[in-house]
């Protein structure tokens, strides 16, 4: 258990979930001397559905993947992925270092045959529901073939998780220039157009939110910048709203009067409801929680893992790739 907040967030989220869902078994991977007191505190020591797997090391949030792979063989992050590899767990959920999680998952679980590079995929809010975006930071630069594979994986996962018949797949680009994006995006466009996907062509940054596309494909650099830009802007707007509604007694009364609407708005845009990014394209399910996730957000990441296990997403991707290659 790592992440910015570690076990004090992960353990209560896990205990809460196994109590709600009798069918759920969660393995808490980390230092027993940290986890056990938390379980005792929650009166969950010996709770059926909770198991403890010891790990003596923790990967720091700033550690380099190569170093961590070499030196942290008994980290909670690595042990959790080992459990998936060994079939003792059906999914790994981590709030830890994204780079190390991806590198370790890649090294231990390996990509699905036909997938060059796994990608990080997440839902983001959109009008009428949400849009799925990938890659969000695993691959800073991508070949056209890799972008095309992202489209395929995004389409399969979205179709499956949301019962969409033919998810609309768009390729992120800019619309201002005559050449409409660099050669790489042009080539990916050509490849995607030749697939059987419901490829709707180029989309721009503002199209992410209109509800007119289900999957937005981009490289990990652009995707990560777009995601962080969303987070930053949403936080700034939230802060400005709090400020405007707390300028003196009258404004605070206004906020009280408008509370139900403000609360509904807040719930609707709550980023915690979108916590839990999938590392798609691996022989196994790995879900990345935001490092700063609280209990509610981490709970959502675990539930994302549960859904992917129920749907057996890696098998779906492998089957679709096999079908395409025949």
Binding mask 155-184 for its own copies (x = CB under 8 A): -----------------x-x-xxxx-xx--
Cis, bond preceding 64 (omega within 30 deg of 0): no
Is residue 225 involved in binding its own copies (CB under 8 A)?
Answer: yes
Distance (Å, whole) CA 266 – CA 212: 23
Is beta strand 168-172 parallel, antiparallel or unpaired with respect to 198-203? parallel
Query: Which residue's CB is nearer to its own copies, number 25 or number 182?
Result: 182
Q: Residues 6 or more apart from 291 whose CB is under 8 A from it?
A: 3, 4, 61, 95, 96, 97, 98
Token pair in block for residue 9 = 């967030």
Is residue 8 involved in binding its own copies (CB under 8 A)?
Answer: no
Q: Which residues, 252 to 271, sit near its own copies by CB under 8 A?
A: 254-255, 257-258, 260-262, 264-265, 268-269
Is residue 194 involved in binding its own copies (CB under 8 A)?
Answer: no
Is residue 60 involved in binding its own copies (CB under 8 A)?
Answer: no
Is residue 227 involved in binding its own copies (CB under 8 A)?
Answer: yes
Instruction: Point out which span in 28-36, 107-115, 199-207, 307-315 binds its own copies (CB under 8 A).
Output: 199-207
Distance (Å, whole) CA 34 – CA 251: 45
Distance (Å, whole) CA 170 – CA 234: 23
Is residue 220 involved in binding its own copies (CB under 8 A)?
Answer: yes
Whole-Å CA distances, 24 to 16, 50, 283: 11, 9, 21
Distance (Å, whole) CA 200 – CA 192: 9
Grouping H, G, I as helix, E, B as strand and the rest as coil, residue 193 is helix
Contact residue for its own copies among 41, 74, 204, 310 (CB under 8 A): 204
Is residue 239 involved in binding its own copies (CB under 8 A)?
Answer: yes
Instruction: Return the residue matching tokens 């792979």.
Output: 69
Query: Which residue's CB is nearer to its own copies, number 264 or number 322?
Result: 264
Binding mask 89-108 for its own copies (x = CB under 8 A): ---------xx---x-----
Query: Which residue's CB is nearer to its own copies, number 40 or number 242?
Result: 242
Cis, bond preceding 297 (omega within 30 deg of 0): no
Is residue 322 involved in binding its own copies (CB under 8 A)?
Answer: no
Grouping H, G, I as helix, E, B as strand and the rest as coil, residue 287 is strand
The residues that touch its own copies, with contacts defined as CB under 8 A, are: 64-66, 98-99, 103, 125-127, 137-138, 140-141, 172, 174, 176-179, 181-182, 204-210, 218, 220-222, 224-237, 239-241, 244-245, 247, 251, 254-255, 257-258, 260-262, 264-265, 268-269
């Amino acid at each position: 258990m790592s992440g910015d907040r570690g076990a004090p967030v992960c353990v209560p989220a896990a205990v809460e979930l196994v109590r709600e869902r009798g069918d759920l078994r969660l393995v808490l991977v980390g230092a027993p001397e940290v986890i056990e007191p938390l379980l005792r505190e929650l009166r969950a020591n010996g709770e059926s559905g909770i198991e403890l797997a010891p790990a003596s090391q923790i990967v720091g949030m700033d550690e380099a993947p190569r170093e961590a792979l070499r030196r942290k063989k008994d980290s909670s992050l690595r042990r959790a992925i080992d459990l998936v590899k060994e079939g003792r767990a059906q999914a790994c959920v981590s709030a830890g270092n994204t780079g190390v999680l991806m590198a370790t998952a890649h090294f231990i679980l390996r990509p699905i045959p036909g997938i060059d590079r796994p990608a990080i995929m997440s839902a983001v809010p959109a009008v009428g529901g949400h849009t799925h975006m990938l890659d969000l930071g695993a691959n800073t630069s991508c070949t056209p073939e890799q972008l095309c594979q992202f489209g395929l994986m995004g389409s399969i996962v979205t179709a499956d998780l949301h019962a969409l018949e033919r998810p609309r797949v768009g390729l992120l680009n800019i619309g201002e220039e005559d050449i409409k994006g660099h050669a790489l995006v042009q080539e990916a466009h050509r490849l995607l157009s030749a697939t059987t996907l419901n490829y709707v062509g180029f989309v721009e940054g503002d199209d992410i939110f209109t509800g007119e596309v289900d999957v937005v494909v981009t490289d990990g650099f652009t995707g990560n910048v777009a995601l962080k830009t969303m987070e930053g802007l949403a936080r700034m707007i939230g802060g400005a709203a709090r400020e405007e509604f707390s300028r003196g007694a009258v404004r605070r009364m206004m906020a009280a009067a408008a509370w139900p609407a403000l609360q509904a708005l807040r719930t609707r845009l709550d980023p915690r409801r979108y916590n839990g990014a999938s590392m798609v394209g691996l022989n196994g399910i790995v879900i990345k929680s935001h490092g700063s996730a609280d209990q509610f957000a981490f709970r959502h990441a675990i539930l994302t893992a549960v859904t992917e296990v129920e749907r057996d997403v890696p098998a779906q991707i492998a089957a679709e790739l096999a079908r395409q290659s025949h």
